Amino acid sequence: METLGQASSMIGFLFVEDVVVDPADADKILGEQSGEVLGAAEAALSALQQWTTEAIEGALRSALIDGLGLKPKVAFGPVRLAITGRRVSPPLFESMELLGAERSLARIAALKGA
């Protein structure tokens, strides 16, 4: 963020029930593996006992980078898009902790089903 005026577009996803995915960002991020990535992310995150930044990061890295063998940009792009609606956002894992487990998982499921 360079100015305070940009705040609403960067953190607005925290204050709405359902996020609107930017179509241009979706075209750049979503590919053939997106369904698999979102499914693996949903499964890994659903199993978490604690919804903390560290636990979220560990689960996603284990499932997507170690488990699917993806590079971070490819692994986290669809998840970031599901959570924030954009390909550029505040830090992903911290954003998910703030958003909460229920809303984060619902957004991942919604994009996976789209």
What share of the chain in percent tops pLDDT 70? 94
**Per-residue H/E/C for the chain:** CCCHHHHHHHHHHHHCCCCCCCHHHHHHHCCCCHHHHHHHHHHHHHCCCCCCHHHHHHHHHHHHHHHCCCCHHHHHHHHHHHHHCCCCCCCHHHHHHHHCHHHHHHHHHHHHHC
pTM of the model: 0.90
Q: Which domains does the chain have, with CATH numbers?
A: 31-113 (1.10.10.350)
| Tens-place pLDDT, residues 37-91 | 999 999 999 999 999 999 999 999 999 999 999 999 899 999 999 999 999 888 9
